[in-house]
Amino acid sequence: MAKEAPKPAPPKGSVPSPQVSPEQILYLIRSTLLTLNDANRSGNDSVLRDLAAPGFQAKNTAADLALAFTDVRSRKFDLYGVALLAPQLTTTPVIDPEGRLRLSGTFPTRPLQIKFDLLFVVHAEQWKLLGIAVATPEAPPLVAQTPPPAATPAPPAWLSSVTR
């Protein structure tokens, strides 16, 4: 049996650029924020930490994450809206030269919206969380839409035949 020729190594300093589909982007955003929601509801941040990239784990203990999300947790703000609504990305998803994927945007929940800024890196052939920031500012006021002027309806056909 012949051995397969080894694949040439990429040039030093270059990082292969993985492809990311719109479905993967939606999954990464939703799964990360719902994991954060579960951590906040349960008071256990270790799962969020354990599912993240090694670099994230090295910089953040579960206690660090609990402290970082104290505001959301203390207000008992539920992030369930991320499961129901489509995110509105504020930047185009781009993989930077170091192979990191940044996803930033909002979920248009009311009265508070959910703003997120997430950073991912490929580890063990999977996108893993490398950075997370979440805020819940007040949603902007709804823009009142004035309905178009109502057209004057034409008189019914029977009325015009009676008045002739």
Q: Which tens digit of pLDDT belongs to each residue from 66-104?
A: 999 998 888 888 999 899 999 999 999 989 999 999 999
CA distance 123 to 89: 24
What is the count of structural domains for the chain?
1
pLDDT (mean) for 125-151: 84
- The pLDDT value given to residue 142: 82
Question: What CATH number is associated with residue 43?
Answer: 3.10.450
CA distance 83 to 35: 11
Residue 133 within any structural domain of the chain? yes
Percentage, residues of the chain above pLDDT 70: 76
With a CB cutoff of 8 Å and minimum separation 6, the contacts of 129 are: 32, 48, 51, 52, 53, 56, 118, 119, 120
> Which domain does 86 fall in, by range?
22-141
Residue 149 within any structural domain of the chain? no
Residue 8 within any structural domain of the chain? no
CA distance 154 to 102: 56
- The pLDDT value given to residue 56: 97
Residue 15 within any structural domain of the chain? no
Residue 58 within any structural domain of the chain? yes
- The pLDDT value given to residue 145: 63
Residue 136 within any structural domain of the chain? yes
Quick check: 97 and 15 in contact, CB under 8 A? yes
- The pLDDT value given to residue 6: 47
pLDDT at 1 over 60: no
Q: 89 versus 5: which is more confidently predicted?
A: 89
Per-residue tokens: 48? 């969020």
- The pLDDT value given to residue 10: 44
Residue 16 within any structural domain of the chain? no
- Dump pLDDT digits (tens) for 20-57: 999 999 999 999 999 999 999 999 999 999 999 999 99
Q: Give the range with max mean pLDDT: 10-14, 47-51, 154-158.
A: 47-51
Residue 39 within any structural domain of the chain? yes
- The pLDDT value given to residue 113: 93
